[in-house]
């Protein structure tokens, strides 16, 4: 195929070109940036079955590994994706080829959300797919403000809690509705971390400890917006975090990309690089309610966690002991699926420490089998009322289940007040206090070594179309 393509006039053919997250199969491009480049991902099958779906998989691989990430910097404004599947039969000495071409237009709508600090304009960005799903994010805090999912009857429901104005999000230092958390999600004991033999101190904002990097978190900052390349249904927010910011060392360049796919996935990709060793453990702190953000508690939601172990905490300060404990025979066992409210008030010390579920679960290694692009399935949540389900995949080792134990009539969007346990969080992460706990996988990144991490929230219901299908 490369030999044939090399005959194209005025085009260069490159194979196995390295990208941030892998190597693409074939890139066809011209030195003239006004001419559209083509990225091809090739798949070979042992049988003729599933050729079309394999092409779709190839296109998803191009999207998810961001093989086109460098093209906008080179001046190209749009790109075509080809997914190509081969089936070779030696008997008849010919190849059968199936090809799927994807050429999507960006469907991003930008609106004004308000003004903060008297002069700084805040924007909302809405992404839609062809299935009836849409999400809205803001450049204030790289916050996820709205997720619209059709329920089993096809009626749209907004399934994330949030605020109705930019100024309310600007004050968001306790609930963290929809927030991008960084540099470090969850807790650091003693509000400090030791890196390369030096102690770095953060601001204590939960007793003596640091929670979600302190009161000057990324969730209240105005991020820069990187316009998506043509054909990408996504928006990227960029933040420069200087050396000493929040107490952490190193000048950190951070980007967060929200993408909405035709498979009804919210794909969140974090990219960071620092000029000094530092902690890099970002997460998203959305509160979900699959009945709708205005529908009351989430206690009837059925949760399955792919976790044989969790990290118990010492006391109500919620710092882990450094051990992992088996969930078997405890209220922490969600492996077979059960209502979140089934045992939330059980006479169990760990739940008494935290007023309900607010614990990190260790994602089972086996959960990675059959997953895509190095992601492991962490959780599945289903609402019996709406018929909406949500799957969570991540490349991080842990996920924090928080059941909204401390919500207390918090004023939210659409005039709603969010009470206790009106939303649940599934925050993908390194374990709490991992930067200080040798027994845990470390969230520390080396100087000048880029780090990329991804989390996917995938939605399903009888009323939600799949893959852009027509109804």
Token duo for residue 293: 């953000």
Please list, in sequence order, all residues whose beta carbon lies within 8 angstroms of the beta carbon of residue 27, skipping any fewer than 6 positions away.
13, 14, 15, 17, 37, 38, 39, 40, 67
Which of 41, 391, 427, 437 is flagged as catalytic?
427
Q: Which of 194, 202, 433, 434 is nearest to 319 (CA)?
A: 433
Q: What is the enclosing helix (H) or strand (E) of 148? A: strand 143-150
Q: How many residues belong to the chain?
A: 471
Active site residue 427: yes
Which of 212, 285, 293, 359 is flagged as catalytic?
285
Token duo for residue 271: 């990219």
Token duo for residue 136: 């809205």
DSSP letters for 90-124: TTTTEEEEEEEEE-PPP-EEEEEEEEETTTEEEEE
**CA–CA gap between residue 76 and residue 39 (Å, rounded):** 13
R_g (Cα) of the chain, nearest Å: 23
**CA–CA gap between residue 39 and residue 78 (Å, rounded):** 11
Token duo for residue 354: 């935290």
**CA–CA gap between residue 361 and residue 309 (Å, rounded):** 6
Active site residue 285: yes
Token duo for residue 289: 């309610």
Q: How far is CA 429 from CA 19, 174, 187, 376, 455, in A?
A: 25, 19, 11, 13, 10
Cα 397-467-89 angle, rounded to 5 deg: 90
Phi, psi of 5 (to 5 degrees): -65, -30
* Bridge partner residues of 309 (DSSP): 326, 362
Q: What is the enclosing helix (H) or strand (E) of 80? A: strand 80-89
**CA–CA gap between residue 234 and residue 135 (Å, rounded):** 10
Q: How far is CA 77 from CA 66, 83, 368, 442, in A?
A: 15, 20, 35, 38
Residue 365, burial from CB neighbour count under 10 angstroms (0-12, 13-18, 19+): exposed
Q: Are strands 224-226 and 234-241 parallel, antiparallel or unpaired?
A: antiparallel
Which residues are designated catalytic?
Answer: 285, 427
């Amino acid at each position: 195929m490369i030999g044939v393509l090399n005959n194209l006039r005025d085009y260069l053919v490159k194979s196995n070109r390295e990208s941030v997250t892998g190597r693409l199969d074939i890139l066809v491009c011209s030195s003239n940036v006004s001419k559209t480049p083509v990225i091809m991902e090739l798949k070979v099958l042992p049988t003729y079955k599933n050729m079309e779906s394999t092409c779709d998989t190839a296109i998803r691989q191009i999207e998810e590994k961001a093989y086109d990430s460098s093209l906008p910097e080179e001046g190209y404004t749009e790109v075509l994706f080809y997914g190509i599947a081969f089936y070779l039969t030696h008997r008849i000495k010919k190849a059968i080829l199936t090809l799927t071409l994807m050429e999507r237009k960006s469907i991003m709508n930008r609106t004004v959300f308000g003004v903060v600090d008297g002069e700084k304009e805040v924007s909302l960005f809405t992404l839609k797919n062809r299935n009836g799903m849409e999400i809205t994010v803001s450049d204030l805090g790289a916050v996820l403000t709205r997720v619209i999912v059709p329920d089993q009857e096809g009626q749209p429901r907004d399934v994330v809690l949030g605020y109705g104005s930019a100024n309310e999000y600007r004050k968001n230092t306790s609930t963290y509705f929809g927030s991008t958390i960084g540099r470090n999600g969850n807790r650091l004991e003693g509000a400090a971390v030791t890196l390369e033999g030096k102690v770095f101190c953060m601001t204590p904002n939960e007793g003596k400890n640091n929670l979600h990097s302190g009161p000057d978190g990324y969730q209240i900052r105005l991020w820069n917006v990187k316009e998506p390349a043509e054909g990408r249904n996504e928006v990227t927010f960029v933040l420069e975090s200087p050396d000493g910011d929040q107490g952490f060392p190193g000048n950190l360049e951070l980007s967060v990309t929200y993408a909405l796919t035709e498979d009804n996935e919210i794909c969140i990709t974090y990219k960071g690089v620092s000029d000094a060793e530092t902690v890099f453990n970002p997460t998203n702190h959305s509160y979900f309610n699959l009945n709708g953000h205005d529908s009351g508690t989430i206690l009837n939601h059925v949760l399955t966690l792919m976790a044989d172990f969790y990290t118990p905490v010492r006391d109500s300060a919620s710092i882990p002991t450094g051990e992992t404990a088996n969930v078997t025979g405890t209220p922490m066992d969600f492996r077979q699926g059960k209502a979140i409210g089934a045992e939330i008030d059980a006479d169990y010390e760990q739940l008494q420490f935290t007023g309900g579920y607010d614990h990190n679960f260790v994602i089972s290694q086996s959960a990675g089998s059959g997953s895509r692009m190095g992601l492991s399935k962490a959780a599945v949540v289903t609402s019996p009322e709406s018929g909406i389900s949500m799957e969570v995949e991540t490349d991080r080792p842990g996920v924090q289940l928080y059941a909204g134990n401390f919500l207390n009539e918090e004023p939210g969007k659409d005039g709603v007040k969010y009470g206790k346990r009106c939303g649940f969080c599934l925050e993908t992460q390194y374990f709490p206090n991992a930067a200080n706990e040798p027994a845990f996988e470390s969230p520390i990144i080396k100087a000048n070594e880029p780090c990329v991490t991804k989390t996917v929230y995938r939605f399903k219901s009888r009323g939600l179309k799949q893959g852009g299908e027509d109804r």
